[in-house]
Structure 1
């Protein structure tokens, strides 16, 4: 298969049942998505297992997969949700077997909160309103940074701006959101960046 094909082409070919396309997507996105999973949970094995499970699920659903404009963002969302389900399932098993406290010292506080706000309509409504008050440019860069998980260099290149400008736009947007979400930030004890990445996943999908 031509290695110069864009990832979008691989996605289309996957939907047509091409196994080579699935392998190509794996090779293209493995490093980035595993790093995302490790950043999310601190567990490389879990990230690897979940990414593999995501790809298998995509293959099983290949003929009903949607058209997507950003394959990487779609894969990140699938991986994110898969990891949350695995974590929740693992916690239930631990509670069922009443493991010793030492066995429960896992870095799940971040994911626990993500799962919790998924059903928090009040929070998502407040966030959505605050997000809409931002400029279109601020919204665009926040999506790229926290939804698509792009670094500042990539954002700057894509938007035709300097890395410093990209940083300043995102910094100002975070500052504005922090003011509007002050109560939620204080009560959760989590960084505003964590809340935004979680909320964006909810309001954009």
Structure 2
């Protein structure tokens, strides 16, 4: 049984694949690996710029899952579960190998995932300036702030999903997101509404693609 990307974005199908994988169907794990690979790869760029390290980590993640399938719990949030597991593995391995890198700017990740940002969402000079200024501001945020912006606006995840992935409480996620957006506003108050419109455009583009 094959699944296209649009179908696998359906939580019910993800749950079905997860249960089949836990029951010992390697084909189901292969389907999960295939359809979530790009999401996991882009997310891993927040922690390392080494493509070989990222690919190896994703492969090791699925090998670990297969070996531990009998002990894994049921989940209704497969994508978030995989992102959280990969986050833990990347941080652990990066520290062990002493190769933890500064995160790739959020815009670079979005460009890899969705093609040219300029071509898709920036149609005139003014928006180009806004995007450039926003990129500069985001580059100056902390790792956790960049991560929460990426998860919320580029992955379109709920606060509950973000809390699960980052290992935070739901209120802590709300507080961090609020402080991050407030910091952006304080840095560039006159154009803050334009920033929100740009982020909103990215969010609606993501929703339309799902």
TM-score for the superposition, normalised by structure 1? 0.49
TM-score for the superposition, normalised by structure 2? 0.47
Task: Kindly indicate whether structure 1 or structure 2 has the higher relative contact order, using CA contacts under 8 Å at least 6 residues apart.
Answer: 2
